[in-house]
């Protein structure tokens, strides 16, 4: 049998972590927890004593004014306590949400700022999903734990009110013992056998309930997978990107089939859960009937034979029922607290996930007029791969150089650029910046050196200006206009209804526009130019452009890269003639190197590939 993985943090450590965050973000969460506990106990005790006290006055044949006064006092107490309790509950909700939101922010920061290799790591991805589940709703561990802790605090407060004893705020065991002692004090006149029956039925009911909850909890990941798959299909079927495929290829029936399959599996899972839960409910009902029946028989016997008054009968029977609820509550909340602690531990383990790169503890980037990049005997292999993508590669990118990196698909061009810009670290060898290994630098500051257009890019539903400037404040519109002109997007912007203030995309703003692939690529180029880093990376920047638009970009290439070191990746070899140097990458290394003309004269693989591509643009050629 596979042993259970031990969590990194225990329950006490996780509670302390949550308390620290609450103290830093919203201290009133802790105050509201204490107030809720005290008010809940006051309400419980008031409800426990009101009927017996009123009946006691009736049995004593007290004057009417005394009876009415008793009723008025308890009514006022119920009104005030219940009203204040509801007020506290309403206000504590927002404070708890604030704390959970702060934790969501920590998880989001980890996702956005973690070392790039982590985003490709299956272990990191799985842990990220578990972390999100721990804080995605009001009922999840990072918010519900305050309610669970409040239950435990209620027990402590009962002890304080009824016994006047002091318990440590950090001792969960003493709180639970104190609560049981408080109600045992109220029930001290009852036969010990009855109490043992009550406790035995409580424990039996708890173990049945725990078995059911653990059975469901152990299969929680299975249930989550069904929801994730259903949400994935829903998002895909409603997305703009897939809308054309759904209609052209008639994917609706296929999507419905996939959804039906997942629904059937989830229905089968739900039926299994219901069978287990129904059996548990029947068992608990039998135990409750037995417990209450025995209590009734015992108390009726005391009333008939020992002179137990009606008010005392009602007090003791209510106390037995309440005592049962407290014992069950203690056990269930402790079990719930343990499970919530496991979720919080997984969240914290995600936040603590090791970083292969150095950030704040790294060296600052030296200020220099120019920067030289150098690969020294670099090899790189993706996790799980059997062979290197890059092997034993040496390359020096000189300051101000315009370097083209070409080769067939899968040759390692993009991997090479990711190594140069520090998104990946080599498995062997080193990447050097002005003679220093980049692994010693603050990686975030190292990224500041680069402006880039990658094959896969992100477009947010914001204005064109915000998309280019990547900010909402301090936007330099004159600089944006210059970048838009260089990227060949000026005429497109002029035709937009609000110019640079037009929203891109329609997922958030209904008045947004949808750019074509070529227009989006130009937009990303303008964004890279606006950042104005000393090193410009262009990974297939014209892949979505037609030949005329592509030529227009090439004509402006020298202007765009003036004073910068630029790396240009392309599989269209005609674009490389504008670069100072070309390297042809194949089989994880540099096969050929030179200018466009010298490589053609060499008559090697570059020349052969250029000849094949050029045929598509020559009239009368047969293929």
Provide, rounded to the nearest whole percent, the portion of the chain with pLDDT above 70: 86
Query: 515: which residues sit within 8 A by CB, 6+ positions away?
Result: 459, 492, 504, 523
Q: Which residue has the higher pLDDT, 173 or 57?
A: 57
> Which of 8-17, 92-101, 165-174 has the least mean pLDDT?
165-174
**Confidence at residue 118, expressed as pLDDT on a 0 to 100 scale:** 92
Residue 504 and residue 463 in contact, taking contact as beta carbons nearer than 8 Å: yes
Helix H or strand E encompassing 379: strand 373-380
Check whether 461 has a pLDDT greater than 70: yes
pLDDT score for 302: 77
The segment with the largest mean pLDDT, out of 38-47, 440-449, 468-477, is 440-449
- Of 534, 569, 566, 386, the closest CA to residue 446 belongs to 534
pLDDT at 390: 92
pLDDT in tens, 60-75: 778 888 878 888 888 8
**What global pTM score does this model have?**
0.74
Per residue in 14-24, pLDDT tens? Answer: 888 988 988 88
With 60 as the cut, is the pLDDT of residue 618 above it? Answer: no
Give 311's pLDDT tier (boundaries 50, 70, 90). confident
* pLDDT for the residue 326: 65
Position 175 scores a pLDDT of 38
Residue with tokens 């009550």: 198
**Highest averaged pLDDT of the listed ranges 322-326, 375-379, 566-570:** 375-379
Residue 165 has pLDDT above 50, yes or no: no
Query: Does 215 or 416 have the greater pLDDT score?
Result: 416
Give the whole-angstrom CA distance, residue 202 versus residue 326. 10
Say if residue 340's pLDDT is above 90: no
Digit-coded pLDDT (tens) for 403-437: 999 888 888 888 998 999 999 999 999 999 999 99
- pLDDT at residue 487 in the model: 85
pLDDT band for position 4 (50/70/90)? low
Whether residue 31 has pLDDT greater than 90: no
Q: Which of 21-30, 103-112, 504-513 has the highest mean pLDDT?
A: 103-112
Give the pLDDT band of residue 181 (cuts 50, 70, 90): low
303 near 314, Cβ under 8 Å? no
| pLDDT at residue 547 greater than cutoff 70 | no
* CB 71 within 8 Å of CB 79: no
Scan for tokens 């190594």, then name that residue.
Answer: 419
> Residue 40: how many CB atoms within 10 A of its CB?
20
Helices 172-186 and 141-163: crossing angle in degrees, nearest 10, is: 50
**Is the pLDDT assigned to residue 207 strictly greater than 90?**
no
Both tokens of residue 170? Answer: 């950090």
| Residue 143: per-residue pLDDT | 85
Residues 291 and 283: their CA atoms lie apart, in Å, by 12
pLDDT of residue 373: 94
Across the range 299-308, mean pLDDT stands at 76
Mean pLDDT (the chain) is: 81
pLDDT higher at 92 or 592: 592
* Model confidence band, residue 383 (pLDDT cutoffs 50, 70, 90): confident
First vs last Cα of the chain: how many Å apart? Answer: 63
Helices of type H across 501-546: 517-531
Q: What pLDDT shows up at residue 539? A: 83
Give the Å distances, CA to CA, from 409 to 292, 415, 540, 571, 581. 76, 12, 11, 8, 20
Residue 179's pLDDT is 47
Calculate mean pLDDT across residues 589-607.
90
Q: What is the pLDDT of residue 159?
A: 35
The length of the chain in residues reads 623
**Buried b vs exposed e over 119-148: b needs ≥16 C-beta within 10 Å?**
eebeebeebbebbbbbbeeeebbbbbbbbb
């Amino acid at each position: 049998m596979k042993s259970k993985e031990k969590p990194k943090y225990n329950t006490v450590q996780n509670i302390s972590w949550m308390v620290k965050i609450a103290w830093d973000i919203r201290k009133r969460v802790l105050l509201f927890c204490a107030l809720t506990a005290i008010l809940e106990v006051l309400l419980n005790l008031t409800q426990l004593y009101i009927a017996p006290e009123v009946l006691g006055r009736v049995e004593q044949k007290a004057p009417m004014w005394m009876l009415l006064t008793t009723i008025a006092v308890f009514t006022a107490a119920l009104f005030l306590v219940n009203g204040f309790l509801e007020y506290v509950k309403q206000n504590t909700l927002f404070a708890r949400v604030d704390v959970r939101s702060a934790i969501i922010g920590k998880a989001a920061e980890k996702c956005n700022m973690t070392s790039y290799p982590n985003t490709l790591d299956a272990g990191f991805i799985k842990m990220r999903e578990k972390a999100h589940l721990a804080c995605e709703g009001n009922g999840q561990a990072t918010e519900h734990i305050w309610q669970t802790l409040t239950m435990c605090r209620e027990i402590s407060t009962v002890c304080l009110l009824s016994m006047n004893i002091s318990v440590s705020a950090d001792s969960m065991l003493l709180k639970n013992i104190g609560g049981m002692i408080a109600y045992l004090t109220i029930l001290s006149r009852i036969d010990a056998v009855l109490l043992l029956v009550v406790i035995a039925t409580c424990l039996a009911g708890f173990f049945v309930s725990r078995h059911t909850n653990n059975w469901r909890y152990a299969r929680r990941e299975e249930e989550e997978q069904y929801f994730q798959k259903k949400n994935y299909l829903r998002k895909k079927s409603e997305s703009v990107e897939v809308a054309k495929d759904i209609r052209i290829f008639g994917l609706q029936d296929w999507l419905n089939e996939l959804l039906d399959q997942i629904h059937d599996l989830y229905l089968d899972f739900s039926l299994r859960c219901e069978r287990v839960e129904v059996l548990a409910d029947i068992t608990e009902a039998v135990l409750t009937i037995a417990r209450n029946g025995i209590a009734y028989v015992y108390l009726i016997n005391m009333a008939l034979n020992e002179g137990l008054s009606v008010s005392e009968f009602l007090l003791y029977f209510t106390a037995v029922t309440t005592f049962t609820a407290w014992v069950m509550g203690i056990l269930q909340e402790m079990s719930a607290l343990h499970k919530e602690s496991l979720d919080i531990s997984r969240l914290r383990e995600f936040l603590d996930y090791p970083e292969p790169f150095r950030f704040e503890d790294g060296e600052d980037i030296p200020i220099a007029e120019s920067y030289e990049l150098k690969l020294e005997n670099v090899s790189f292999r993706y996790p799980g791969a059997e062979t290197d993508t890059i092997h034993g590669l040496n390359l020096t990118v000189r300051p101000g150089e315009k370097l083209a990196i070409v080769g067939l698909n899968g040759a390692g061009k993009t991997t090479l650029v990711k190594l140069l810009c520090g998104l990946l670290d080599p498995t062997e060898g080193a990447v050097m910046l002005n003679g220093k290994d980049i692994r010693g630098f603050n990686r975030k500051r190292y990224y500041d050196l680069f402006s880039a257009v990658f094959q896969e890019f992100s477009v947010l539903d914001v204005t064109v200006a915000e998309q280019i400037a990547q900010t909402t404040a301090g936007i330099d519109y004159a600089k944006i206009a210059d970048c838009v002109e260089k990227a060949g997007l000026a005429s497109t912007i002029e035709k937009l209804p609000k110019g640079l203030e037009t929203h891109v995309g329609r997922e958030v703003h209904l008045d947004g526009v949808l750019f074509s692939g070529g227009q989006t690529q130009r937009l990303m180029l303008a964004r890279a130019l606006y950042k104005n880093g000393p090193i410009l990376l262009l990974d297939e920047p014209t892949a979505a452009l037609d030949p005329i638009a592509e030529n227009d970009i090439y004509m402006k290439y020298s202007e765009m890269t003036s004073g910068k070191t630029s790396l240009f990746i392309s599989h269209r070899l005609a674009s490389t003639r504008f670069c100072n140097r070309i390297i042809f990458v194949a089989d994880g290394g540099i096969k050929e190197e030179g200018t466009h003309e010298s490589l053609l004269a060499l008559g090697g693989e570059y020349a052969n590939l250029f000849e094949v591509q050029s045929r598509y643009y020559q009239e009368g050629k047969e293929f």
